[in-house]
Amino acid sequence: MNQAAHAHPEHRDDFGAKLGMWLFLLTEILLFSGLFLGYAWMRTRYPAEFHHAGTEMNAVLGVTNTIVLLTSSLTMVLSLVAIQRGERKRAMLGVGATILLGLVFLVNKAFEWHAEIHHGNYPGSAHLATLPPGEQVFFGLYYTMTGLHGVHVLVGISVLSVMLVMIKRGRISRDRFVVLENGGLYWHLVDVIWIFLLPLFYLAA
Amino acid sequence: MTEHRAAHGGLPLSYLDDTGSKRGILAWITSTDHKRVGILYLYATLSFFAVGVAIGFIMRLVQLGPFHHLVTAQWYNALFTVHGVLMIFLFVIPGLPPVFGNFMLPLMIGARDVSFPRLNLASWYFFMAGAILVVVSLFTGGGPPDTGWTFYVPFSLKTGTNVTLAVFGAFTLGFSSMLTGINFITTIHQMRAPGMGWFRMPLFPWALYATSWIQVLATPILAITLVLVMLERIVGIGIFDPAKGGDPILYQHLFWTYSHPAVYIMILPAMGAITEILPTFAKRTVFGYKAIAFSSIAIAGVGSLVWAHHMFTSGISPFALMLFSLLTMIVAVPSAIKVFNWTATLYKGSIEFEPPLLYALTFIFLFAIGGLTGVMQGALAINVHVHDTYFIVGHFHYVMFGGTGFAFFSALLYWFPKMFGRMYSRRAAYVAWVPLFIGFNMLYFTMLVLGLQGMPRRYYNHLPMFDLGHEVATVGSWFLVLGLAIFFINLIVAKFRGAPAGDNPWGGVTLEWTTASPPPTENFEEIPVVTHGPYVFEQEGDA
């Protein structure tokens, strides 16, 4: 890295960095699109089963988590605004709040999964084997899609934690904030994907 | 800058000599210089290619009576799976873009590096991690996977072999491919030299641009499909398992949604390299610049919509069959445009015959056979007859080996003097071509015939009626291996003992030939300013 640093002393390309990030987000959308496609096909095959399995979902927890994530996107934007104005403390506060809300989301999710598993609704369980095939697929998709989304929340939290340190050390500052902007873009994407997951599972009934 | 200007009388150090603050292998595996990363990819992919060739060689031996019991039937299944996985995921897909793309793209567009040099090195690590996982999967767990490289469900869910780890390896390799794609798109958008508009850009970068979009758009679909296979094997989520309401056809759709466009990841940069080589040796500008540039984009676009032609016998609706058959025929059009443009480029050129040109012409010949047999299979009736036979195997080897493989060889011969600053023996390169060409056609053309006669692919045994064909093909494989050996020994010798090649041995006019061979770390003393299109040869005046 040292080498790169002295080989390209002047090279800085904020637009390029953002372009790269958008391309990466595109790959993320396509990653989930494979699952959305699978969901669409399975739901067409088993409309009644999906409806019935959807009644087992806890819509209150799902909606709560939606509110939590949307708020976290707000704190993320506020943090970006703050850094653009040079208010470092407030920017750190914003990122910190985003991380905290992300953790709240994951804790909520853990309770929800725990409850479902407690009811025997997990792949390979004896209870699930007694249900009609379409409902088994519903739960398979439920764990896969919310699980993959959860992994993304976790990655987002880790990325934002690094950014917290970077703001503290002045590596992200008033005139050098593209990294935070990109981190924010990633976080919003995770948020947007959740907004699609909510109706597909929690409001499926 | 000053620290790069060491002993060479004020000249900047070449990327090969400039080790930065590190030594030995560390100076390579920690370097973010696009040229060093390209060389890392070159060595890695060629090593896997060698293993793949060895496995292919054994598979051919097994089809010869006396050697039939060299391996068991189970091992034969493992061999064709591993051969496919190695060749496709570790050689053909990461062949041209990460090797020549990394090395040449910044040079050709007049940049000092790619947009994200550290990401570039990281993608090599992803590549190696994936490769190691694939290799480990061969020796651990239930033994090497025996599903074929396509990992079709439901067999891939039921088999006791080490599918999960191999699939995870392929998943990791996908990251490498995707990150390279993101890097190249950004580089092409942002880093072109002043004055180099889109239509002054050489056509290899154009091909890389189209390829990168496929890598970005298609690879995630493979990633999620492989994740689903892993989850299905580990926890049994049921999406591909009919017993739980899942659908195996869904797997095939998802798999080919990536894996067909992946064919264009393999062939587009190969076409791009050929498009660089022909004008240089015809000493005239390329015929139909814009047609070639746009046909790359068209291939990438239409090629993403033809995946279900791999599934004509899987049981999909008649309407889908017709649609995908039509689209498959259409994708042949932009490919043919390229072939016509290449031949037109040679027409009335002042041709200077050199080894890269010979291999490039061989590419056109073999690719034409591969392409035309592909159109044949796009026709529904023929497809049903030849599905899963040696005809398919012959066809895709003509495209992937005759196409991408020979383009890779041609590109290697073309850019080798630039990359290493040394020249190989031209005579040895010609000599290698003879057994390569004869062996290639004996092996794969015979496969086309065997397939039409009804020899199924992936079978350990064959009926006596196919004996002659198998004997011809196996002997062909010996010639092929001999040719490969001569080809690569020539290059290895040249790497260490070749005569200095000079900065521009072929008289090329694209930007990579304006700098030293091997290029300095910074690529150019001063970033060039571009005032005209890429293939302007002086003899022609303003062309």
Residue B426 predicted with pLDDT over 70:
yes
The residue type found at A157 is I
Select from A15, A24, A136 the Cβ nearest to the Cβ of B244: A136
Biggest alpha carbon distance in chain A?
65
Q: Does B244 touch chain A (CB under 8 A)?
A: yes
Quote the pLDDT of residue A10. Answer: 56
The residue type found at B24 is G
DSSP state of B33: -
User: Which tokens hold the place of A20?
Assistant: 């790269």
Q: Does B178 touch chain A (CB under 8 A)?
A: yes
With a CB-CB cutoff of 8 Å, which residues 340-399 of chain B face chain A? none
Mean pLDDT of A126-139: 90
For B504-536, the DSSP string reads -TT---SGGGGS-SSPBTTS-SS-----S-S--
**Number of domains, chain A:** 1
| C-alpha–C-alpha distance, residues B192 and A136, integer Å | 53
Residue A178 predicted with pLDDT over 70:
yes
CB pairs under 8 A between A and B: 134
Cβ atoms of B223 and B169 closer than 8 Å = no
Partners of residue A33 in chain B, C-beta under 8 Å: 220-221
- Closest chain B C-alpha to A90 CA, distance in angstroms: 30
SS (H, E, C) A141-170: HHHHHHHHHHHHHHHHHHHHHHHHHHHHCC
Under an 8 A CB cutoff, do B32 and A19 touch?
A: no
Is there a domain that residue A4 lies in? no
More confidently predicted of B242 and A148:
A148
Quote the pLDDT of residue A115. Answer: 93
For residue B500, give the 3-state DSSP assignment: strand
Is there a domain that residue B109 lies in? yes
- Kind and range of the H or E run holding A117: helix A88-118
Q: Does B217 touch chain A (CB under 8 A)?
A: yes
B283: alpha, beta or left? (left if phi > 0; alpha if psi -120 to 50): left
Partners of residue B117 in chain A, C-beta under 8 Å: 4, 8
Is there a domain that residue B62 lies in? yes
Of B386, B291, B423, residue with least CA distance to B344: B291
- In angstroms, the first-to-last Cα distance of chain B is 37
Q: How many CA within 13 A on the CB side of residue B117?
A: 27
Residue A2 predicted with pLDDT over 50:
no
| C-alpha–C-alpha distance, residues B266 and B260, integer Å | 10
For residue A105, give the 3-state DSSP assignment: helix
Partners of residue B239 in chain A, C-beta under 8 Å: 38, 42, 137, 140-141, 144
Give the mutation candidate from B224, B250, B253 for the A interface (greatest A CB count, under 10 A): B224
CA A72 distance to own-chain centroid: 11
For residue B93, give the 3-state DSSP assignment: coil
Cβ atoms of B404 and B267 closer than 8 Å = yes
Is there a domain that residue A9 lies in? no
Length of chain A equals 205
B-chain residue closest to A30, CA distance: B220
Of B46, B24, B28, residue with least CA distance to B36: B28
Residue B262 predicted with pLDDT over 80:
yes
Residue B6 predicted with pLDDT over 80:
no
| C-alpha–C-alpha distance, residues B407 and B399, integer Å | 10
Select from B113, B118, B216 the Cβ nearest to the Cβ of A26: B216
**Number of domains, chain B:** 1
* Lowest mean per-residue pLDDT among B50-54, B238-242, B415-419: B238-242
Average pLDDT, chain B: 93
Angstrom CA distances, A154 to A75, A99, A150, A163, stand at: 17, 10, 6, 14
Q: Residues B47-95: pLDDT tens digits?
A: 999 999 999 999 999 999 889 999 999 999 999 999 999 999 999 999 8
Under an 8 A CB cutoff, do B185 and A23 touch?
A: yes
How does residue A125 score in pLDDT terms, banded at 50, 70 and 90? confident
Cβ atoms of B170 and B84 closer than 8 Å = no
Under an 8 A CB cutoff, do A45 and B32 touch?
A: no
Q: How many CA within 13 A on the CB side of residue A110?
A: 9
User: Which tokens hold the place of A86?
Assistant: 């040079």
Under an 8 A CB cutoff, do A144 and B237 touch?
A: yes
The residue type found at A195 is I
| C-alpha–C-alpha distance, residues A6 and A100, integer Å | 38
Under an 8 A CB cutoff, do B33 and A7 touch?
A: yes
* Lowest mean per-residue pLDDT among B21-35, B217-231, B423-437, B506-520: B21-35
CA B221 distance to own-chain centroid: 20
Cβ atoms of B192 and B260 closer than 8 Å = no
Cβ atoms of A99 and A156 closer than 8 Å = no
Quote the pLDDT of residue A12. Answer: 83
Angstrom CA distances, A126 to A111, A119, A121, B508, stand at: 21, 11, 9, 69
Under an 8 A CB cutoff, do A136 and B245 touch?
A: yes
Residue A5 predicted with pLDDT over 50:
no
Is there a domain that residue A14 lies in? no
Strands B422-423, B499-500: pairing is antiparallel
**Residues whose CB falls within 8 Å of the CB of residue A95, separated by 6 or more in sequence, listed in order:** A75, A76, A79, A160, A163, A164, A167, A180
* Lowest mean per-residue pLDDT among A58-62, A85-89, B21-25: B21-25
| C-alpha–C-alpha distance, residues B306 and A135, integer Å | 32
Under an 8 A CB cutoff, do A31 and B112 touch?
A: no
The 10 Å Cβ neighbour count of residue B302 is: 18
Q: Residues A106-115: pLDDT tens digits?
A: 999 999 999 9
Quote the pLDDT of residue A124. Answer: 83
The ipTM estimated for the assembled molecules is 0.92
CATH number of residue B506's parent domain: 1.20.210.10
Domain that holds residue B141: 26-540
Partners of residue B216 in chain A, C-beta under 8 Å: 23, 26-27
B194: alpha, beta or left? (left if phi > 0; alpha if psi -120 to 50): beta
Is there a domain that residue B17 lies in? no
- Closest chain A C-alpha to B271 CA, distance in angstroms: 25
Q: Does B489 touch chain A (CB under 8 A)?
A: no
Is there a domain that residue B2 lies in? no
Domain that holds residue A171: 30-202
Under an 8 A CB cutoff, do A137 and B235 touch?
A: no
Cβ atoms of A128 and B235 closer than 8 Å = no
A-chain residue closest to B33, CA distance: A4
Is there a domain that residue A22 lies in? no
Partners of residue B522 in chain A, C-beta under 8 Å: 7
The 10 Å Cβ neighbour count of residue B209 is: 24
The 10 Å Cβ neighbour count of residue B347 is: 11
Residue listed under structure tokens 């030849």: B386
Is there a domain that residue A17 lies in? no
Of B49, B34, B43, residue with least CA distance to B123: B34
Residue A4 predicted with pLDDT over 50:
no
Q: How many CA within 13 A on the CB side of residue B341?
A: 25
- Closest chain A C-alpha to B24 CA, distance in angstroms: 15
How does residue A36 score in pLDDT terms, banded at 50, 70 and 90? very high
Residue A6 predicted with pLDDT over 50:
no
Length of chain B equals 543
Partners of residue B183 in chain A, C-beta under 8 Å: 20
Give the range with max mean pLDDT: B15-24, B126-135, B238-247. Answer: B126-135
Biggest alpha carbon distance in chain B?
74
| C-alpha–C-alpha distance, residues A106 and A154, integer Å | 8
Rg (CA), chain B: 23
| C-alpha–C-alpha distance, residues B461 and B467, integer Å | 10
Burial state string for A47-62 with b = 16 or more CB within 10 A and e = fewer than 16: eebbebbbebbeeeeb
| C-alpha–C-alpha distance, residues B81 and B74, integer Å | 11
Of A35, A186, A167, residue with least CA distance to B226: A35
Under an 8 A CB cutoff, do B254 and A34 touch?
A: yes
DSSP state of B315: -
Partners of residue A124 in chain B, C-beta under 8 Å: 235-236
Under an 8 A CB cutoff, do B32 and A32 touch?
A: no
Q: Which residues of A touch B (CB under 8 A)?
A: 1-4, 6-8, 11, 13, 15-16, 19-20, 23-24, 26-28, 30-35, 37-38, 41-42, 45-46, 49, 123-124, 132-137, 139-141, 143-144, 148
The residue type found at B302 is V
Partners of residue B111 in chain A, C-beta under 8 Å: none
**Residues whose CB falls within 8 Å of the CB of residue B274, separated by 6 or more in sequence, listed in order:** B342, B360, B363, B364, B407, B410
Partners of residue A35 in chain B, C-beta under 8 Å: 224
Mean pLDDT of A148-167: 96
Is there a domain that residue A150 lies in? yes
Question: Residue B19 — φ and ψ, nearest 5°?
Answer: -95, 5
Q: Residues B349-398: pLDDT tens digits?
A: 999 999 999 999 999 999 999 999 999 999 999 999 999 999 999 999 99
Is there a domain that residue B198 lies in? yes
CATH number of residue A100's parent domain: 1.20.120.80
